[in-house]
Structure 1
Amino acid sequence: MSASAATIDADFDVNFADPAFLADPWTPLTRLQEEAPVFFSRNQGGWVISRHEDVRACYADRRLSAARGDQFFRGMPPEILAQTEAVRAFNRYNVNRMDGRDHTRVRALLLRAFDAGAIRKVEQFIGEVVEDVLDECGRLGKFEFLETVSAVLPTRVMQRLFGLPDEYRPLLFNLASQFTSASSAAAVTPELLIQLDKAIRAINAVFDTFIPLREKEPGDDLISMMVHARDGLNKLSHEEMLYNLVGLVVAGAETTAHSLATQTARIARDPALTQRLRDDPDCAFALTTELLRYPGTVKCMTRYAAEDIELRGQKIAKGDLIWIMNAGANVDTRVFSDPFTTIIDRPNARDSMAFGPGLHFCIGHLLARTELAEFLKRAFRRFDIAILQDDVEMLSSYIFYGFRSLDVRFTAR
């Protein structure tokens, strides 16, 4: 393994679990961009990629494998592996952890199901769901945002998208929460993996009930669309369908939950942004797109080197772990002018790495932005929103930029 770039201090490193990094990952990442853009972190046990150009290249590089499920199981004893078959199956069948032909085939089928028609269906009911949540916000007045909004809105949207009865909503959120606890923990414990396995098995039982029903009597829900997605004679296997539905729950619920809180806080603390959103509600989609760039939600993704490669003079060995830092790429001044300023009509908004471009570009990106935009424009139209704490404890996650809690007051306008 090659030494890191000689320009950086020998004792410099990053620690993704450090509270300072959780609150501000950008300061050390922008330093790395200048001094060691391909940097081996002893703390993180892998290569940190921080420049926009390199992040984009890594996402497109077929020599870097997305089959990263082994991160969960490093050092786990055999008895834990025996109790976590559902987690291991998720890592085998979920499209975001596949490479090569299997990834291409499954992704193409998912895109047939998760098309513009699915988004149009969401748009038909998302306003109704948002207004119901905002009614509760108005009733409470002062409340904890993550519990009242973040834990409710995304799972209600996913539940409606799947065509599931209301009673299954808590299972969806529990799965998303358990998955994030395990996948983003600084150190994955056997207890986290066992809880995640139980959550996956519980939601699998629900999908196992509804998949045969949708095969016989398809509707306009996402499960029906996935059941009947075809490319010639090709279709999703039962396992592929099951574990990609699990993946959609995780991505559709937990990721959006963090964005709702961070974006609401940022707008509420900026009178100019608040007024712009009220004067021009149609800017909400562009605004949420810009806030997904910075401060963003997904700080990084991981890959493994499938073969020996070289990047900016650094020799990366087969099997090395690679941290692809979206958070660094999205504030790279080589690409974004005034990167820490919210510019709603930013001309190169498409250069954002928010949804991991390239081979594994997020299938649900349009759904996430639609949901966020609808909430923001309706919430700030109906309420004056105050953030009731100066210091917010950050979520201890290497993946997500988010809050542990957020106390707010919604006052009807």
Structure 2
Amino acid sequence: MAVETLNTQDGVRDVSFADPAFLADPWRNIARLQTEAPVYWSENQRGWIISRHADVKAAYADPRFSAARVSQLFRDMPPEVVAQLEGVRKYTGLLVNRLDGEQHMRIRSLMLKAFDRGSVKKMESFIGEVVDRVLDTCEAEREFDFAKVVGAVLPTTIMQRMFDLPDEYRPLLFSLASDFTSASAAAKVTPELLLKLERSIRTLNEVFNELIAVREKHLGDDLISMLVHARDGLHKLDHDETLAQLHGLVVAGAETTANSLGTQLVHIVKHPELQERLRSDPDAAFNLVTELLRYPGTVKCMTRFAKEDIELHGQTIRKGDLVWIMNVGANIDSSVFADPYRSDVDRPNLRDSFAFGPGMHFCIGHILARTELSEFFKRAFQRFNIEILQENFDMAPSYIFYGYRELRVRFTPR
């Protein structure tokens, strides 16, 4: 088991993102680093950890830090393994959140049209329908693993509907999203995970190649059609760019929201005043889930590579160094958020929160994600008294996502 070690850098204790204690509680040690070493070279992570809100914000905006970080996956991988990862190298490198500059903005602008507030507003009715069907299953089951019954079903069903796919595609989409994130976001990457990711990418491509061919001939009112036919002047997505963005949408739409559903449920159940607010003021749900995306949150950090030498707080980040930019630290920085561990439904925090990343890489699907979460929680707590049936949790082994592998619950109709 990975444990904290003493780094020789000013006697500051290092952290390991794969340590079970860190997976369960990343805030304590990151808050410590904010005070002791806000720009810290981690021997365990073999990179710089940046943890204060102002520095996180500046790092995300600094063009000297590159989002093109596919090579991070291949650190310490045997050459014979890397040779088998052509799909990983190609398609993860084309994801919009792993691009810089003009290429990033070109693809981002083509995707934004599908996720503006007006587009999501049109989806609200069917999101509500899907939530109600999932809650019907919760009522029938009464005691169940929330991760399987809700987390694996609700967000993937939404994506399936947005792609205009038959119901039989839903389990496949969730399985592929889970395989994708288990490797690309792993706190400890292994050859086995990367080879599994390569197979998942190939399977996703087989599925989407057929769907793209159909949408090219018969334009529909769905997300795949939008990407296939998206244009900005003379520019459009090429075939591989389209495939990559569809991969990213499956992962972001399924896995990210699935983790948020579980962690937010546990937090709300532990705080009766939040349950009461949801029941007395259902319209507050959107603000509540926005606040809970700050803390406890879902996205712990993102990575960048330094494109040149950079001086920060007396430390020299060298060209080529890996940088861990800690959203989880920025979101509990007391210089920005008063009483940061308290859930304040009325806190106007979206601008300062790093729940969805800042600036140019701000999450394209943030409105959709918050709509799904808010619709679920306001309906769930109107219909049920909800209990968490376990005290200890097996955490997702991810450096990016904070989430539970299993969550035993009881839903009792009110």
Is the structural similarity TM-score above 0.5? yes
Task: Give per-residue Cα distances to partners, 1:125-158, cap 9 Å, x unaligned.
Answer: 1011111111000000000110111011111011
TM-score by length of 2: 0.96
- Decide which moves more: 119-128 or 159-168: 119-128
Q: Check the 8 A contact 1:176/1:249 in 2, yes or no.
A: yes
The match for 2:299 is 298
CA–CA distance in structure 1, aligned partners of residues 241 and 118 of structure 2: 22
- Are 1:24 and 2:25 matched, yes or no? yes
| Equivalent position of 1:190 in the other structure | 191
Q: d(CA) in 1 for partners of 2:257 and 2:291?
A: 15
Distance in 1 (alpha carbons) for counterparts of 2:288 and 2:137: 25
Q: Secondary structure at the match of 1:359?
A: helix
Deviates more, 1:365-374 or 1:185-194: 185-194
Please give the secondary structure, in 2, of the residue aligned with 1:260: helix
One-letter amino acid matched to 1:160: R
Q: Secondary structure at the match of 1:350?
A: coil
Q: Which residue of 1 aligns with 2:400?
A: 399
* Structure 2 CA distance for aligned equivalents of residues 299 and 34 of structure 1: 18
Alignment match, 1:238: 239
Q: What amino acid is the match of 2:197?
A: L
What is aligned with 2:125? 124
CA drift at 1:269: 1.7
Q: CA deviation at 1:78?
A: 3.2
Describe the superposition over 1:44-88 as per-residue Cα deviations: whole angstroms up to 9, x where unpaired.
111110100000111111100001111111222333233222211
> Bigger shift: 144-153 or 213-222?
213-222
Equivalent residue, structure 2, for 1:331: 332
Aligned: 1:321 with 2:292: no
Q: Is the 8 A contact 1:150 1:261 kept in 2?
A: yes
Confirm or deny that 1:351 pairs with 2:363. no
Q: Is the 8 A contact 2:18 2:188 kept in 1?
A: no
Aligned-pair Cα RMSD in Å: 1.5
Does the aligned pair in 2 maintain the 1:47–1:321 contact within 8 Å? yes
| Partner SS for 2:305 | strand
The one-letter code of the counterpart of 1:344 is: V
The 1-side partners of 2:385 and 2:113 are apart by 41
Residue 248 of structure 1: SS of its match in structure 2? helix
- Aligned equivalent of 1:173: 174
Which letter does structure 2 place at the counterpart of 1:142? E
2:396 aligns to what SS in structure 1?
coil
Distance 1:397 1:212 in 2: 35
Identity %: 65
User: What letter matches 1:281 in structure 2?
Assistant: P
Q: Structure 2: which 5+ residue stretches go unaligned? A: 1-6
Report the CA distance shift for 1:349/1:11 in structure 2 as closer, same or farther (over 3 A): closer
TM score, norm. by length of structure 1 = 0.96
CA–CA separation in structure 1 for the residues paired with 2:297 and 2:71: 26
Equivalent residue number for residue 3 of structure 1? none
SS in 2 for 1:336: coil
How far apart are the structure 2 equivalents of 1:140 and 1:348? 36
Tell me, in whole angstroms, the C-alpha distance in 1 between the residues paired with 2:77 and 2:8.
37
Counterpart for residue 379 of structure 1: 380
Q: Give the aligned length.
A: 408
Unaligned regions of 5+ residues in structure 1, if any?
1-5
Distance in 1 of aligned mates of 2:95 and 2:302: 15
Deviations 1:345-375 (A, max 9, x none): 0034421011110121111111111110110
